[in-house]
Amino acid sequence: MSFNFLPVQIPTFFVVSSSHRRPAMLVPLLGRPGCLALLCITVLWPSILCPVLQGQTAAVSESGGSDFEAGSHLPAGFQLITGRYVDIVTDLPIDDELRLLPQVFEQAMPLWCQAFGVPPEDVSDWHARAYVMLERDRFEKAGMIPEHLPEFPYGFQYGNDLWVSEQPSAYYRRHLLLHEGTHWFMNRYFGSSGPPWLMEGMAELLATHRWDAQQVNLQMGIVPGSRDDVPYWGRISRVQQQLEDGSAPSLEAIMRYGNTAHREVEAYAWSWAAVLFLMEQPDTKAAFQEMLQQPMRSDLTQTRWLFERLRERWPKIRQQWNAFVSDLDYGFQSDAGLMVISAAPQAITRESVELQVDSRKSWQASGIYVTAGQRIQVAADGSFVVGRVPADWRSEADGVTLEYHNGHPLGRLMMAVAAPMRSEEASRVINEWPVGSGREIDLTQSGELFFRLNEASHERADNEGAITVRVELLQ
């Protein structure tokens, strides 16, 4: 959560100019009464975002994190930890994790600069104060929370002040500090953090981090390798749970979140996923970067701009989003490739078509279009290296039953059918068919055939080789 630097709030409904042409797909988005908009300064967003930001290793400075004695002027029960870019005021007993928070923030500053294309000299004299609160009441009584701020369960940013409620894990406490810090950075530099999905999605993306206290090294914008890396973060689990129980929002629903949507934790998870997808997907990444260079505004202007740019591709993007969320898991890496539907796949014929399926890549487009009701035959030959430990594991298209992924043997040939989605639908997991070395399949969906060998995206980098797949129409 955050407030703009400008203290003036103008409640208004988002109004679409009558001269603005609405593309058909935008109607559901724009048809709703809009959100409470914050007055903002419009500035240009100058640069390119890097999905994963790697901090430079640095020594702990002598001044940082050790002089909370300087807080003797604070009311009893509070302690101060000073740092170059942030001072921490807390009612918690100081331990090593807390003592290093200003160092985490100091490491984050060049990464925020890098992410938003901001020259480091522009922020060299910036300074924030972060309240890390065990008992909110104490801070209220001490006048450290302005009365006009709303209730907030996790964190809040207002001007140069950040508030973080104490969390059950050190990871999540740092995460919230970096999340509110991202709002602080964007609001202070750009005058706004954009519409709710972008504001919270960017904050979640950059706050998801890896911190090495020994090396004083911070990485931001990571996808966590495991649940244990990010205790109490829970974004991936929430996405997976909602996909499973059928309550997942559509991509459009995420992008039209209003100002109150993020009272629910799930909105943070989906905003994070949406920003990650739009930043990585080949069909959207260039437009997303261009959108970030538009004036930052808290209303739907940027969202509408993005839809306009992607209007023709949007039906494909819906399906590609479903493929992305189907695979989103701890350790997920887009390096293995995200689904990209071909521009003009050709209808399948009775003549056998041969393809190579690369073991290092995720969904690979065949360029073959099939129709529900058809019966096809898929056959596969060849072998590939699916693992290296303790020695090379060779697999054929049936996979190896020593290990399973998604309920199927590791390395098994899998097939999906994907087609542009003409209307907005709730996000859902895409169907996958296990093919193995060969089978006949009665198709229940129309679209382009996609193939991959069954393995998690982050396990593919050590693979080697491809298998040959032949596809033909039977009837």
Query: CA geometry: angle at 99 spanning 60 and 140, to 5°?
Result: 145
- Cβ closest to Zn ion, residue 261 vs residue 339: 261
Q: Contacts with Zn ion: how many residues (CB under 5 A)? A: 3
- Cβ closest to Zn ion, residue 145 vs residue 453: 145
* Residue 271: Cβ-neighbour burial (10 angstroms; 0-12, 13-18, 19+): buried
Q: Looking at the DSSP assignment, which residues form a beta bridge with residue 356?
A: 468
Q: Which stretch binds Zn ion (CB under 5 A): 71-79, 192-200, 231-239, 449-457?
A: 192-200
- Cβ closest to Zn ion, residue 96 vs residue 151: 151
Please state the closest distance from residue 181 (CB atom) to Zn ion, in A: 10
- Cβ closest to Zn ion, residue 154 vs residue 330: 154
Dihedral (CA of 72, 75, 77, 82) sign: negative
- Cβ closest to Zn ion, residue 91 vs residue 200: 200
Cα–Cα distance, 379 to 290 (Å, whole number): 43
Please state the closest distance from residue 197 (CB atom) to Zn ion, in A: 11
Peptide bond into 28 cis (omega under 30): no
Please state the closest distance from residue 157 (CB atom) to Zn ion, in A: 7
Q: Which stretch binds Zn ion (CB under 5 A): 1-9, 110-118, 356-364, 402-410?
A: 1-9
- Cβ closest to Zn ion, residue 259 vs residue 294: 259
Please state the closest distance from residue 296 (CB atom) to Zn ion, in A: 15
Please state the closest distance from residue 448 (CB atom) to Zn ion, in A: 38
Please state the closest distance from residue 180 (CB atom) to Zn ion, in A: 7
- x/- mask, Zn ion, residues 94-113, rule CB under 5 A, reads --------------------
* Contacting residue, 1, 132, 279, 467, with Zn ion by CB under 5 A: 1
Cα–Cα distance, 216 to 207 (Å, whole number): 16
Please state the closest distance from residue 2 (CB atom) to Zn ion, in A: 6
- Cβ closest to Zn ion, residue 267 vs residue 357: 267
Please state the closest distance from residue 357 (CB atom) to Zn ion, in A: 41
Question: In the range 195-224, which residues lie near Zn ion by CB under 5 A?
Answer: 200, 203
Question: In the range 293-332, which residues lie near Zn ion by CB under 5 A?
Answer: none
- Cβ closest to Zn ion, residue 115 vs residue 203: 203
- Cβ closest to Zn ion, residue 176 vs residue 471: 176
Please state the closest distance from residue 1 (CB atom) to Zn ion, in A: 5
Which residues of this protein are in contact with Zn ion, per CB under 5 A?
1, 200, 203
